Amino acid sequence: MTNHLMNLRHVPDDEADEIRELFETHNVSYYETPPSRWGVSMGGFWVHDNEEAQRARELLQTYQKERLQRQRDAYEEDLAAGRVGGFWHRLRRKPVTTLAACLAIVVILALTIAPFVTL
């Protein structure tokens, strides 16, 4: 029976490449279907054998924990270095873009609520 291991929708290319390398390193006989351009099919990594699926899921679980920790560490480094931040950080670095986005949000919100509000 076919086993779906992982959905590939919204998966970054570097993560998909690392998973392919992980499977090839551990000789997991998998196949891959790409996600559709319009989001109709999800795509993903698949295996045919149930035992192979269990082994692949264990590898994926370990990989995901390691990747999560690497991404958190990278974010913390960027935060400490001042490369990322919240709203005020973005406002200081890109005031025109941030204010334009806020204005767009207010306009969309006003257009959405206007039919229901009587003045």
pLDDT of res. 85: 84
pLDDT tens for the chain, 119 residues long, are: 789 999 998 899 999 999 999 999 999 999 999 888 887 888 899 999 999 999 999 999 999 999 999 999 999 999 888 888 888 888 988 999 999 999 999 999 999 999 888 76
pLDDT of res. 10: 86
The answer to whether 15 and 7 have CB atoms below 8 angstroms apart is no
pLDDT of res. 119: 60
pLDDT of res. 98: 94
pLDDT of res. 40: 80
